[in-house]
Chains A and B, each alone.
Chain A
Amino acid sequence: MPDEIPPVPTGSVSTGSAPAEAPVPVLGARTHASMYLRCLAVQGSWNYENLIGNGIGFCVEPALRRLPGGVGAPAYRQALARQSAYFNAHPYLASLAVGALARAEIDGAPPVRIERFRTALCGPLGSVGDRLVWAAWLPACSLVGLLLFGLGWSWPAVVVGFLVLYNAGHFALRQWGLRAGWKHGLRVAVALGHPVLQHGPRYIGRVSAVIGGLALPLAVHRAIGGGPPLSPIPVGVVIMTPLLAALLVRLQGRTEGWRAVLVLLAAFVLYSVVR
């Protein structure tokens, strides 16, 4: 059983100045699975005071059981306390921090160094994750979902198509993060230089623009009932949509589109029921 590996003595592996070829301790399948599943709930106690700090402690905890003395021993408790302090990162890339911090604790890195490392990780993991996932991957998959809808796919196919595509990236990113974090430990900055993290948003953005351009006319056509496209109503939609979109772009910073839509729909509902 991989989890039966004896605890690594504190301080047995040097950190920071350790050579790149330092052997990677085996995490164990059960511990890895436990940490991975916990990473899915890393934001479970998200709050405005320590953000995902408690979540990081929660995710790292299965690995900390391998510290000398096991659960409840001073080494375990001190490490858990350190890892449950304030932390912020993109939730998917938090797995990179979880792996790296678990490795640092198991390697017996000095507490001050781990705390500095935690602080230094917050910024890059937040910005890289936001750019890659929230600003690129999620809109891209969302547009693919709209494209499938516009192409006339059945409802289960649209739902499954979107979820499979999105989560192929999502779960793979969390898995890669946990493994890379554990592999590199305090030198995890190497992993942050991965080409997908560095250049992914640019390529995904370009593909999204193409998918978006194809998806929106098709989705609009299906949503309005799919009648003859050159009849007055679809033509009206084709004329009005870019005009309204241009107005919303001009209003950028002053209002959000969904607020404007709410006002328009409220007015339309009133008109339709009093007419």
Chain B
Amino acid sequence: MDLVGLLVDLLPLALLAGVIGLDVVSFPQAMISRPIVAATIAGAFFGAPVAGLVCGAALECLALEALPVGASRYPEWGSASVVAGAVAAHGASATALPRPGAFTVAVAVGVITAWAGGWTMTRHRRFIAAFARPRLDQLAEGQRRTVVGLQVFGLTADLLRGALVGLVAFPPALMLADWCDTRWGVSDDVTRAVVVTCVAAVAVSAVWKDFHAISGTRRLFLLSLAVGTALVVMGA
């Protein structure tokens, strides 16, 4: 692997991971941090948007399961999807699907990085609380500078957190994908089928569970699944 090339890729990727990681909670929550967007942008950034899109769609199926509710700890899909999209794009051409080893590793790395990113978010929140604690008197006095400063501090720290996640996760993920690709012993078709089956099962179970409280929804889902499957068959 070309070390200089890796470094050249790493810095903009970290910046992208930072900006997209910021979107998850802090600013502006416009969902550029959703996998289907973030991984595609990362793939496009590395010259293989379709590979990024396929990886993003796979991770989006997983992300359907985890609702980003309040103070609960949930996977941080933003910067993780940037890393995964970049790994999926590795070795792929602009219009090609991701290479089998890179695709599998990208999805697995996306999940691991999202889990680790969720952990960094909880640390980040504690970090802000620790930063705010000595300034509580100033907040109680209604000092504008403290209120604005705390907000800017939190935003900046979150940007750096996302960038750091990208910076730490990308090099080993890329090396692993590279290593796996040279030793991959399963055909492209079967590899894609295995990965896609896993993520699609999570998506199906997520939709099934999410809408259980609304009467008739599960029947609608089953019916439309049948229609969707028929559309695939008829499109052949």
Contacts and interface: CB of A to CB of B under 8 A. Distances in A.
Q: Which of B30, B54, B196 has the most CB atoms of chain A within a 10 A radius of its CB?
A: B196
Interface string B209-225: 11101101110111111
A206 B198 contact: no
Interface stretch (A9-17, A131-139, A187-195): A131-139
A261 B62 contact: yes
B186 A272 contact: yes
Contact of B183 (A76, A77, A202, A273): A273
A228 B236 contact: yes
Interface string B109-138: 001101100000000011011001100000
B196 A220 contact: yes
A170 B70 contact: no
Nearest to A141: B31
Contact of A258 (B70, B111, B125): B111
B211 A208 contact: yes
B65 A206 contact: no
B28 interface: yes
A147 B153 CA distance: 39
A114 B226 CA distance: 53
A120 B191 CA distance: 53
A262 B195 CA distance: 10
A251 B191 CA distance: 25
Interface string A200-227: 0110011011111111111111111101
A139 B68 CA distance: 11
A209 B50 contact: no
Interface in B119-170: 125-126, 128-129, 132-133, 139-144, 147-148, 150-155, 158
Q: Determine the interface band of chain B, counting residues with CB < 8 A from chain A.
A: 35 or more
Contact of B197 (A55, A79, A241): A241
A265 interface: yes
Nearest to B67: A134
Contact of B108 (A72, A213, A265): A265
B21 interface: no
A275 to B, nearest CB: 3
A60 to B, nearest CB: 10
B220 A48 contact: no
A80 B111 contact: no
Given A46-B26, A158-B40, A233-B190, A249 B202 contact: no
Interface stretch (A18-26, A36-44, A177-185): A36-44
A156 B31 CA distance: 15
Given A45-B151, A167-B31, A229-B235, A210 B200 contact: no
B194 A84 contact: no
A272 B32 contact: no
Contacts, number: 350
Contacts of B75: 258
B17 interface: no
Nearest to A88: B70
Question: Lowest 10 CB-CB distances: which A-B pairs, in order?
Answer: A213-B224, A77-B142, A275-B185, A257-B202, A45-B154, A244-B201, A81-B142, A80-B142, A217-B228, A245-B204
Given A40-B28, A213-B223, 11 more contacts: A45-B154, A55-B151, A80-B142, A84-B142, A145-B57, A241-B201, A244-B198, A258-B115, A268-B195, A269-B180, A275-B186
Interface of A: 40-41, 43-51, 54-55, 57-58, 61, 71-72, 76-82, 84-85, 88, 91-92, 126, 130, 134-135, 138-139, 141-143, 145-146, 149, 155-156, 158-159, 162-163, 166-167, 170, 201-202, 205-206, 208-225, 227-230, 233-234, 236-238, 240-249, 252, 256-258, 260-262, 264-266, 268-269, 271-275
Interface of B: 25-32, 34, 36-37, 40-41, 43-44, 49-50, 52-54, 57-58, 60-71, 75, 97, 100-101, 104-105, 107-108, 111-112, 114-115, 125-126, 128-129, 132-133, 139-144, 147-148, 150-155, 158, 179-180, 183-186, 188-211, 213-214, 216-218, 220-229, 231-233, 235-236
11 contacts: A49-B133, A61-B144, A81-B141, A206-B214, A208-B207, A217-B232, A237-B193, A247-B201, A258-B115, A261-B62, A261-B111
